[in-house]
Amino acid sequence: MHKLHSLLTRQFLFPLFVILLLVSTSFTPLQAFAATHAVRPWMDPSLSPDKRADLLLAQMTLDEKITMLHGTSLGIGLGGYVGHIPANTHLGIPALNLQDGAAGVAGGMTGVTAFPAPVAGAASWDTSLMNQYGQALATEMSGKGANIALSPTVNILRVPQWGRSYESFGEDPYLNSQLGVTEIQGIQSQHIIATVKHLAANNQETDRMSVSAQVDERTLQEIYLPAFHAAVHQGGVGAVMCSYNKVNTIYACEQPYLLHDVLDTQWNFPGFVMSDWYATHSAIEAANAGLDMEMPLGLFYDLPLRVAIGLGQVSMTTINTMVHRILRTMFAFGLFDYPTTGSPGNNVASSAHAQFALQEAEEGTVLLKNDQNILPLDGSKIKSIAVIGADASTSPMIVGGGSASVKAPYVVTPLQGIQKRAGSSISVQYASGSDQKQTAQVASSADVAIVFVNDVEAEGSDRSSLSLPNNQDQLVQTVSQANLHTIVVLNTGAPVLMPWVDQVPGIVEAWYPGQEDGNAIAAILFGDVNPSGKLPMTFPKQAGDVPANTTQQYPGVNGKAVYSEGVFVGYRYYDANHITPLFPFGHGLSYTTFSYSNLSVTPASSQGGTTSVSLDVTNTGSRDGSEVVQLYCGIPSTNVPEPPKQLKGFQKVLLSAGQTRRVTFSLDPSALAYWDVNSHGWVVQKGTYQVMVGSSSSDIRLTSNLTE
Ligand code: BGC
C-alpha cells in the first residue's frame, strides 16, 4: 500500500504539480526554476554534489538503485554506445552513455576525427597537447550524446609485445601520470566524465581474462599505481575501470587491496569504479570490495545482487554507497546541469580537429637516426623520391585494432602527403614492395628512397615477435641495398627490432598517426616541422634484452605472470643491468641542437617543502625547435634496491635558433620517496641523491647531488 502510494505520488502527482505550475500564465522562468527545485531539490546547483546525491538517493527505490549499477544492452540499439544505463525519467536522472576514446570517438561511430594513437601523444611529451586532446575528444563525445569517456589508459608498457602498446603512454610511471592527468582535465572540462583504466597491472593480452599478475606491494605502488593515483589526486578523475586480469590471484574487479585499501582508504577516491567489459566475476565479493558498476550488462549486478541483498550478504549501506558514488560523480561533472544534447548520428568532426590531429601527429613523431643529416629533405636539391611499402599507400597503419579503433573519415596516405608536398618539381615514384626486382629498380633510380613499414597491433592478442611482420625487414634491406639514401619510416605502436639499423642513414618513428598521416610525415621529412618527439619507451637491440625475458615473467606459467623484475621496468632495468638499448627511453633527435648549462639545485630545506632544479638550455643550431628537457633522480639504494635513475620531471621548451631559456623544475618530497612495505607508506631516507638533467635517459648532460 505504502509502495503504491509512493508510486502514485511520484508518477502522477509530482509531474501533475509541475505541469500545473508551468501552464500558469503568470509564471516566470525564475519561478519554474524554484518549482523544479521544490519537486526535485537535488536539482539545486548551489548544493554540493554529495548533498545532491543524498537527496536523490533518498527518493530511489531498490529497483531504481539496481538500474544505476549495471549497463543494459540497449546501448547498441541506441546507435553505438559501448555502454549504456537508461535515464530515470521519474527522477530526472540522465542516461549514462559510455564510449571509448583513446584516439577519438570509437565504437564504430562515423563522422568523428581519427586522432593519433595515445602512444604518439605520449611521444610528444607535451602535457598541454594532451589537455587539448582531452578537450577535443570530449567535444566530439558530447556531440555524439556520450557523457562518459573510457579514456585514458595508463597501464605501464611492461612488455613490448603487448597488443595494446599503441593505446599506452609507455613505460614510465611519471610520464604516464602527467599525460593522463592533463588528458583527464581536458575531458572533464567539458562535462564529460573521464575513466582512467585499467586498474591494475593489466599489461598483456595473452590470457588477459584470467592471468594473475603476481606483483609485490612496492612494485605496485612505485610502478603500476602512480598514474592511477595522479589521475585521482591531481586529475580529479570521475571514474576508474578495473581490469580483466587477476592481481595476486584475485580478479581485479573484486580485489580488496586495489579497490578498498588503495582506492578508498589510501587515496580517498570519491568517484566510482566500473568493471571492464565482462570483467565482473561475482556480486558479493565485487560489491563488498568496492566495484560500483558492472559493464556492459547486469550478469552479476542484477539478479545475483538482489539475492545477495536479500540474504544480507551485501548490505543496503553498501548498495547506497555504490549508487551515491555514481550520482555524486554525475552531479560533480555537470551531467544533470549540462546534459548533452548530442546524438549518435551527428557529424562531430571539424576542420579545427583535423588540424589538431595533424599537429599531434607531427609533435609525436620521433627522429631516431639522422646520419649525415639526410633529413630534412632539401627540396632544392632532390629531383626524385621513391616511396616504398604498402603502408605508404594501400594499407597505412593509422590506428590500432580493438575497442580503441576509430573509423577515420578520410586518410591522407604517406604517398599522397609526400606527392602533395613534393610538388611538380620532384618526381615521386611508388612501389608497394611486393615485387623485389621492381622495388629495387624504383629505389635505385631515385635520389632518396623512403620505405614505410608497420606492425599490426590489436587488443585481444600480443605480438608474437618483436620483428616487423610480413617480410618487411627484407624489404628494408632490399631498398637500402639499392639506394644509400634510404630513410625508414616506422608506423608501429611499440618497439620493433631493426636488423638493418646500420644500413640506413635515417629512421623516423611515426607511430599510428591517425587520419592526417601523410601530411604529418611529409611536414617532418621536408623540415616544415622540426621533429620534437621523444621515445616513451626503450627500444631493445634484441628480444632477449627486455626486462621480462623468462616465460615465468611473460606470458606466465600456470596462469601466473610473475613480476619478478620488480621496479626494474623499462629503462630502469636496462640502466641497472648495463644493457645498451637500440634507442633509449627519452631519445629523439631534432634538426637543430641544444646545449645544457648552469645547473643549480636548491634543496627543500632552504625553501620549505620543494627542491628546485634549474638550468639553461640553448638552441645551438640554426633552426627553431623544441627540446624535451628531462629530469631524472637517483635514489640511494641503502634500504631497498633502486634503479640508477627515475624520471621525475620534464618540460618541452620551444627555443628559436640561438635562444637560451632557464628551465626550472620543482621536486616535491614524494619524488625522492620509495614505498616502504613495513610501514605501508612512502619514506624519504637520509642520504645523497643524484640529480640528472638530459636529453634522453642515456644522454645526461648535467648532474648534481642533493643531500636529504
Ligand atoms: C577494453 C576496454 C574498453 C571496453 C569497452 C574492453 O574490451 O578492455 O578498454 O573500454 O572494452 O569497449
With helix as H, strand as E and coil as C, how does 17-41 read?
Answer: HHHHHHHCCCCCHHHHHHHHHHHCH
User: Is the pLDDT reported for residue 519 higher than 60?
Assistant: yes
Work out the number of other CB atoms within 10 angstroms of the CB of residue 549: 15
Ligand 1 atom closest to residue 98's alpha carbon, by position in its atom list: 5
Ligand 1 atom closest to residue 243's alpha carbon, by position in its atom list: 8
pLDDT value for 491: 98
CA 522 from chain centre, in angstroms, equals 26
C-alpha torsion sign, points 17, 22, 27, 31:
positive
Mean pLDDT of 551-557: 98
Decide whether any atom of ligand 1 lies within 6 Å of the 82 Cβ: yes
Ligand 1 atom closest to residue 202's alpha carbon, by position in its atom list: 8
pLDDT level of residue 38 (50, 70, 90 thresholds) = confident
Distance 372 CA to ligand 1 centre (A): 45
Three-state DSSP class for residue 14: helix
Mean pLDDT of 571-599: 98
Decide whether any atom of ligand 1 lies within 6 Å of the 191 Cβ: no
Q: 511 and 166 in contact (C-beta within 8 Å)? A: yes
Work out the number of other CB atoms within 10 angstroms of the CB of residue 50: 14
Cell of 341: 544534447
Distance 701 CA to ligand 1 centre (A): 42
pLDDT value for 13: 44
User: Is the pLDDT reported for residue 361 higher than 90?
Assistant: yes
Distance 83 CA to ligand 1 centre (A): 10
Distance 479 CA to ligand 1 centre (A): 39
Ligand 1 atom closest to residue 403's alpha carbon, by position in its atom list: 12
CA 226 from chain centre, in angstroms, equals 14
HSE (CB half, 13 Å, CA atoms) of 46?
A: 3
pLDDT value for 74: 57
Q: 689 and 634 in contact (C-beta within 8 Å)? A: yes
Work out the number of other CB atoms within 10 angstroms of the CB of residue 1: 5
Q: 491 and 510 in contact (C-beta within 8 Å)? A: yes
- From the list 333, 465, 357, 447, the residue with the least C-alpha distance to 132 is 357
User: Is the pLDDT reported for residue 19 higher than 60?
Assistant: no
pLDDT level of residue 609 (50, 70, 90 thresholds) = confident
Q: 212 and 560 in contact (C-beta within 8 Å)? A: yes
pLDDT value for 500: 98
pLDDT value for 37: 76
Which residues lie closer than 8 Å to 13 by C-beta, 6 or more apart? none
Distance 439 CA to ligand 1 centre (A): 40
Cell of 445: 633510380
Q: Phi and psi at residue 596, in whole multiples of 5°?
A: -120, 140
CA gap 544, 365 in Å, rounded:
27
Ligand 1 atom closest to residue 198's alpha carbon, by position in its atom list: 9
Which residues lie closer than 8 Å to 464 by C-beta, 6 or more apart? 161
Decide whether any atom of ligand 1 lies within 6 Å of the 81 Cβ: no
User: Is the pLDDT reported for residue 18 higher than 60?
Assistant: no
Decide whether any atom of ligand 1 lies within 6 Å of the 276 Cβ: yes
Average confidence score pLDDT of the chain: 94
Decide whether any atom of ligand 1 lies within 6 Å of the 277 Cβ: yes
Ligand 1 atom closest to residue 100's alpha carbon, by position in its atom list: 10
Name the residue with the closest Cα to ligand 1, atom 2: 276
> 262-300: per-residue pLDDT in tens?
999 999 999 999 999 999 999 999 999 999 999 999 999
Q: 310 and 290 in contact (C-beta within 8 Å)? A: no
Q: Phi and psi at residue 657, in whole multiples of 5°?
A: -50, 130
HSE (CB half, 13 Å, CA atoms) of 23?
A: 5
Name the residue with the closest Cα to ligand 1, atom 3: 403
Burial degree of 78 (CB within 10 A; 0-12, 13-18, 19+): middle
Provide, rounded to the nearest whole percent, the portion of the chain with pLDDT above 90: 91
With helix as H, strand as E and coil as C, how does 146-164 read?
Answer: CCEEECCECCCCCCCCCCC
Decide whether any atom of ligand 1 lies within 6 Å of the 53 Cβ: no
- Lowest mean pLDDT: which of 77-86, 94-103, 107-116, 603-612? 603-612
Ligand 1 atom closest to residue 197's alpha carbon, by position in its atom list: 9
Q: 232 and 326 in contact (C-beta within 8 Å)? A: no
CA gap 502, 23 in Å, rounded:
80
Q: 675 and 635 in contact (C-beta within 8 Å)? A: no
Distance 565 CA to ligand 1 centre (A): 28
Distance 329 CA to ligand 1 centre (A): 21
Instruction: Give the predicted TM-score (pTM) of the model.
Output: 0.94
Distance 275 CA to ligand 1 centre (A): 9
CA gap 486, 499 in Å, rounded:
15
Burial degree of 478 (CB within 10 A; 0-12, 13-18, 19+): buried
Name the residue with the closest Cα to ligand 1, atom 4: 277
> 366-380: per-residue pLDDT in tens?
999 999 999 999 999
> 638-675: per-residue pLDDT in tens?
999 999 999 999 999 999 999 999 999 999 889 999 99
Decide whether any atom of ligand 1 lies within 6 Å of the 100 Cβ: yes
User: Is the pLDDT reported for residue 474 higher than 80?
Assistant: yes
Decide whether any atom of ligand 1 lies within 6 Å of the 197 Cβ: yes
Q: 453 and 415 in contact (C-beta within 8 Å)? A: no
pLDDT value for 79: 65
Please provide the size of the chain in residues: 708
Decide whether any atom of ligand 1 lies within 6 Å of the 627 Cβ: no
- Active-site residue among 100, 172, 264, 276? 276
pLDDT level of residue 32 (50, 70, 90 thresholds) = low
Ligand 1 atom closest to residue 167's alpha carbon, by position in its atom list: 9
Q: 327 and 57 in contact (C-beta within 8 Å)? A: yes
Distance 314 CA to ligand 1 centre (A): 27
Decide whether any atom of ligand 1 lies within 6 Å of the 403 Cβ: yes
Distance 128 CA to ligand 1 centre (A): 26
Name the residue with the closest Cα to ligand 1, atom 12: 403
Q: Could you tell which of 277, 278, 280, 406 is best to mutate to test the pocket of ligand 1, judged by most ligand atoms within 8 Å of the CB?
A: 277
Decide whether any atom of ligand 1 lies within 6 Å of the 124 Cβ: no
Q: For 492-564, list the strands marked E by DSSP.
A: 506-509, 560-562
Our CA angle for 572, 400, 359, nearest 5°, is: 80
Distance 277 CA to ligand 1 centre (A): 6
DSSP 638: S
> 67-76: per-residue pLDDT in tens?
999 999 755 5
- From the list 202, 124, 220, the residue with the least C-alpha distance to 165 is 202
> 183-224: per-residue pLDDT in tens?
999 999 999 999 999 999 999 999 999 999 999 999 999 999
Decide whether any atom of ligand 1 lies within 6 Å of the 252 Cβ: no
Q: Could you tell which of 195, 276, 406 is best to mutate to test the pocket of ligand 1, judged by most ligand atoms within 8 Å of the CB?
A: 276
User: Is the pLDDT reported for residue 16 higher than 50?
Assistant: no
276 flagged as catalytic? yes
Work out the number of other CB atoms within 10 angstroms of the CB of residue 608: 6
Bridge partners (DSSP) of residue 676 are 681
> 612-629: per-residue pLDDT in tens?
999 999 999 999 999 999
Q: Could you tell which of 96, 105, 150, 205 is best to mutate to test the pocket of ligand 1, judged by most ligand atoms within 8 Å of the CB?
A: 150
CA gap 665, 614 in Å, rounded:
6
Cell of 242: 578495473
